Amino acid sequence: MKRKLGNYRKIVGDEIISMIYKKARKFYGKHILHINSTYQGGGVAEMLQTLVPLMNDVGIDTGWRILHGNPDFFSITKKFHNSLQGEPLNFTEIKKELYTQANESFSVYTHIDHDCIIVHDPQPLPLIQFYKKSQPWVWRCHIDLSHPEPKLWDFLKNFLLKYDIMIASSKEYMKDDLPIEYRIIPPAIDPLSTKNKEINNGIVQKTLEKFGIPNDKPLITQISRFDKWKDPLGVLEVYNKVKEKVDCRLILCGSMAMDDPEGLEIYEQVKTSARQLIKENNVILITVENNLLVNILQRISNVIIQKSIKEGFGLSVTEALWKSKPVVASNIGGIPLQIEDGVNGFLLEPDDTKGFAEKIIEILQNSSLAKEIGKKGKKTVKEKFLITRLLSDYLDLLGQFWTCPVIYNGNEQ
């Protein structure tokens, strides 16, 4: 179903819907382009799948293009992703060349004559080098930039300095040595998407049966790609401690994104470490790309865990909060933007395995606590992290480039 702004009236109210339409008026006739590296897998693609149709629906011609790259390119950009989050990098001239060549090749058969270009994450960052810049370019970084590897960061600044604005998810990611304008725009979820909408019990039961997922004991779930920064092996350690006190089951569910070549390797490590638990059906690993299943898993879970070591924002946390589920998560990156410890969820340091286990046990043994925390979590998302707020923020951003009034129905706006 094509997403339309009016679909969200019952969720966010008339005032917000009206305000967005008014903001959009000055951009009628403008042509905006989003560019990223994958159509599916990960929060960036999920947000664009809703944001782009909504921008079109409010009267702004908005396109979305996917950067093409070979396996070598995505292997390099995954290393860049890890290094921007603090991991050491063997930074060679070959890596630089392959990275820029992929972008140059894409530019040869991709014409860009739009009024504003919004580039998402490091993969398409160099594209700006291969066009005659005649419009604003925005770099939207979705990852944790608090401690980037210095040599890589210096290299990427060659491209970044040409951009007009950089968007980050948190002020913690702002860099003093980058003299371009910053905007802080946290990500958001679509409450009407397959992953987040309400589901009737019949569909829930049929889906669980289809995937062979039992629902006979308390369930702990982490929804995230099989990525070392999500610490799935650490989640296994937490589960083993919880299971000593409460008979429960763990599900690790994460799709394999096209631009993440390390996913299969991490998955195999987890599978090996949990072999006996998997055999006993106490741990279930899921890699299918199925948003309905993710929605159901979050709704039937007793606790959602997000034990990330690094986290740009953590939309899986947002999704769980929206479903009124108690979340126990790492106190890192963008997660504290969403969770106030002890109020609408719980925060612990990523290496506090014992603390994670104790908090999960407390929730499993105290249903009233789980219900109260979950109720407050949903309220937080409704107020701050829905796609309508993200759309409004992007309109404010565009307003920085086009502030002149327009004539609408004979009146100046």
- Examine the domain organization and report whether 263 and 360 are in the same domain: yes
Domain that holds residue 362: 201-384
- Examine the domain organization and report whether 294 and 398 are in the same domain: no
pLDDT single digits (tens) 40-75: 767 899 999 999 999 999 999 999 999 998 889 999
* Cα-based distances in Å from 190 to 125, 297, 307, 389: 26, 17, 23, 10
- Examine the domain organization and report whether 291 and 393 are in the same domain: no
CA gap 314, 333 in Å, rounded: 8
Max Cα distance, the chain (Å): 72
In a domain, residue 412? The reply is no
In a domain, residue 413? The reply is no
- Examine the domain organization and report whether 37 and 146 are in the same domain: yes
The DSSP annotation for 360-383 comes to: HHHHHT-HHHHHHHHHHHHHHHHH
- Asked if 333 and 144 count as a contact pair (C-beta separation under 8 A), the reply is yes
Is pLDDT above 80 for 406? Answer: no
Residue 15's pLDDT is: 97
Is pLDDT above 90 for 258? Answer: no
How confident is residue 122, by pLDDT bands cut at 50, 70 and 90?
very high
- Examine the domain organization and report whether 63 and 98 are in the same domain: yes
Instruction: Provide the CATH number for the domain around residue 113.
Output: 3.40.50.2000
Task: Determine the average pLDDT of the residues in 75-95.
Answer: 90
- Examine the domain organization and report whether 258 and 335 are in the same domain: yes
How confident is residue 91, by pLDDT bands cut at 50, 70 and 90?
confident
Is pLDDT above 60 for 11? Answer: yes
How confident is residue 408, by pLDDT bands cut at 50, 70 and 90?
very low
CA 169 and chain centroid, separation = 10
Q: Considering its fold, how many domains does the chain have in total?
A: 2
- Asked if 218 and 325 count as a contact pair (C-beta separation under 8 A), the reply is no
pLDDT single digits (tens) 194-247: 999 999 999 999 999 999 999 999 999 999 989 889 999 999 999 999 999 999
Residue 109: phi, psi to the nearest 5? -110, 15
Task: Determine the average pLDDT of the residues in 181-198.
Answer: 95
- Examine the domain organization and report whether 234 and 271 are in the same domain: yes
Range of weakest confidence among 87-96, 322-331, 349-358 = 87-96
Range of weakest confidence among 107-121, 258-272, 291-305 = 258-272
Go through the chain and tell me how many residues it has.
Answer: 413
Is pLDDT above 50 for 412? Answer: no
How confident is residue 410, by pLDDT bands cut at 50, 70 and 90?
very low
* Cα-based distances in Å from 402 to 23, 154, 158, 263: 11, 31, 27, 42
Sequence-distant contacts of 334-340: CB under 8 A, at least 24 apart: 334/144, 334/169, 334/170, 334/186, 334/187, 335/306, 335/308, 335/311, 337/169, 337/170, 337/186, 337/313, 338/313, 338/314, 338/380, 338/381, 338/384, 338/385, 339/377, 339/380, 340/380
